[in-house]
């Protein structure tokens, strides 16, 4: 038999939580009215999921890599590559990528022959969170060539930017230029091995060039005239090499799409050569248009066998330590699931889960399990009747890792090659 079914996984970002006293000891997901999440749980098979591994606090990037079947312990080399992908930079396998800050230094920066910065001190690591003009600053350094290496720089939000180095013989074992503290000079980057020493040399030259290009730049003259600190240097950190990731369609033999709201996850999707549509109305905020996300999922399902969708809103409530916002976001997630359920083909395998826990009481990601439920024609339903962190404990999936989802879904879909004879 060669027919196969399609699958979609809908992810409430940071949706899982811990008991909240203000909610009588329930989690926001348990307290929220989510009839469609409960329906998927009741009609499907449920369990707990460790996004990475038990107790590991997952980032959204590492978790989504794992959920898509790419082992983050193997492919995640630092935030640099994913930061660059997240702001829409094109990166290629082997590129060395950094996160950067626009910062303020005081003094006359010089680079010594042994690669140390002298003469200047960091006054503000974020240049007072500069909000405007960074696009003009990057123009002064983007695309320059140092030795045989091309340097690409792109601004992100506020004082943030990413740097991508492309050229032969580069390594990623490079220390940060950012001293992570004011009142210190920028650190000369140092490399652990010969290839990384080349990277360090290029990075240090680029930092010096940024200072030369930025110090009298019109954007900074304007800032100084307004009594603001100039953003007169670029300070890279978090070096990572762009990993080799087999494109999704090659890996699984079916085309996939990512319907997401954040640049970080969109960047992962693009890097895996999945379709990543623009979704007007998907703001990534608490006010996002989840109906637009649902429509995009359904559109993508027309010509893709697999669609991942991430709704960012629940994570925001967790980071803000606001149970009501998080309950409202859980209800938005319920609306998203309703819209997909109501119009999806009958034979769709639909998984619902979270990419990590973002507890109200912690305000950041933790390593607790998240609930997962999968509904569809080839699923063996269990006795779980509602979708919550504790309700799913009785489910047939028991306890899986994020990395297990794709094998489970491709098995249900009927697209997986047999392992063995």
Interface residues toward Zn ion, by CB under 5 A: 13-14, 60, 315, 355
H/E element holding 195?
helix 194-214
CB of 318 to Zn ion, least distance (A): 7
Q: Tell me the C-alpha distance between 276 and 55, whole Å.
A: 31
34 or 62: CB nearest Zn ion: 62
CB of 13 to Zn ion, least distance (A): 4
219 or 406: CB nearest Zn ion: 406
241 or 311: CB nearest Zn ion: 311
13 or 261: CB nearest Zn ion: 13
Residue 14 structure tokens: 């940071």
What is 239-267 written as a DSSP string?
EEEPP----HHHHHSS-EEEE-SSHHHHH
111 or 328: CB nearest Zn ion: 328
Q: Tell me the C-alpha distance between 275 and 283, whole Å.
A: 19
Tokens 């994020």 — which residue?
A: 402
**Which value, in Å, is the radius of gyration of the alpha carbons in the chain?**
23
CB of 386 to Zn ion, least distance (A): 23
163 or 352: CB nearest Zn ion: 352
Nearest to 220 by CA among 99, 121, 106: 106
Residues with Cβ within 8 Å of 407's Cβ and at least 6 positions away in sequence, in order, are 69, 416
CB of 306 to Zn ion, least distance (A): 19
CB of 357 to Zn ion, least distance (A): 10
Buried b (16+ CB within 10 A) or exposed e, 148-170: ebebbbbbbebbbbbbbbbbeeb
CB of 57 to Zn ion, least distance (A): 10
The dihedrals phi and psi of 241, each to the nearest 5 degrees, come to -95, 135
Q: Tell me the C-alpha distance between 93 and 371, whole Å.
A: 34
CB of 261 to Zn ion, least distance (A): 11
Q: Where are the beta strands (DSSP E) in 170-324?
A: 233-241, 256-259, 306-311
Nearest to 330 by CA among 7, 24, 27: 27
Q: Tell me the C-alpha distance between 43 and 352, whole Å.
A: 12
CB of 310 to Zn ion, least distance (A): 7
45 or 315: CB nearest Zn ion: 315
Q: Tell me the C-alpha distance between 48 and 88, whole Å.
A: 33
Name the closest residue to Zn ion (Cβ). 60
17 or 315: CB nearest Zn ion: 315
Bridging pattern class, strands 306-311 and 7-12: parallel
Q: Tell me the C-alpha distance between 210 and 356, whole Å.
A: 38
CB of 156 to Zn ion, least distance (A): 16
238 or 359: CB nearest Zn ion: 359
């Amino acid at each position: 038999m060669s027919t196969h079914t399609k699958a979609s996984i809908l992810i409430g970002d940071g949706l899982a939580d811990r008991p909240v006293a203000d909610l009588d000891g329930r989690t926001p997901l348990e307290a929220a009215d989510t009839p469609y999440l409960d329906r998927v749980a009741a009609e499907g098979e449920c369990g707990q999921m460790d996004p990475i591994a038990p107790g590991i606090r997952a980032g959204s990037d590492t978790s989504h890599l794992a959920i898509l079947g790419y082992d983050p312990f193997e492919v995640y080399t630092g935030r640099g590559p994913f930061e660059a992908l997240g702001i829409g930079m094109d990166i290629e396998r082997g590129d060395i990528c950094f996160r950067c800050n626009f910062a303020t230094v005081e003094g006359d920066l010089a680079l010594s022959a042994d690669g140390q910065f002298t003469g200047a001190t960091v006054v503000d690591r974020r240049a007072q969170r500069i909000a405007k003009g960074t696009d003009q600053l990057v123009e002064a350094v983007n695309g320059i060539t140092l030795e045989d290496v091309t340097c690409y720089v792109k601004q992100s939000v506020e004082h943030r930017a990413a740097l991508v180095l492309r050229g032969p013989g580069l390594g990623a074992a490079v220390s940060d230029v950012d001293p992570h503290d004011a009142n210190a000079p920028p650190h000369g980057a140092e490399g652990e091995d010969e290839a990384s020493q080349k990277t360090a040399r290029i990075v240090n030259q680029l930092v010096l060039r940024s200072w030369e290009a930025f110090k009298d730049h019109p954007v900074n003259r304007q800032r100084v005239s307004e009594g603001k600190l100039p953003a007169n240097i670029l300070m890279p950190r978090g070096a990572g090499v762009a990993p080799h990731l087999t494109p999704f369609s090659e890996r699984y033999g079916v085309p996939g799409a990512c319907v997401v709201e954040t640049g970080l996850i969109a960047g992962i999707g693009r890097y895996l050569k999945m379709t990543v549509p623009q979704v007007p109305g998907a703001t990534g905020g608490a006010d996002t248009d989840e109906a637009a996300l649902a429509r995009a999922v359904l559109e993508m399902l027309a010509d893709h066998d697999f669609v991942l969708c991430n709704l960012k809103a629940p994570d925001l409530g967790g980071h803000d330590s606001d149970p009501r916002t998080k309950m409202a976001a859980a209800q938005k997630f319920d609306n998203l699931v309703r819209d997909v359920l109501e119009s999806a083909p009958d034979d769709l395998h639909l998984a619902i889960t979270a990419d990590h826990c973002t507890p109200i009481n912690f305000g950041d990601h933790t390593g607790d399990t998240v609930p997962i439920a999968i509904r569809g024609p080839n699923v063996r339903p269990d006795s779980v009747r509602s979708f919550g962190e504790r309700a799913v404990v009785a489910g047939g999936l028991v306890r899986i890792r994020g990395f297990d989802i794709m094998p489970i879904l491709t098995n249900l879909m009927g697209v997986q090659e047999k392992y063995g004879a």
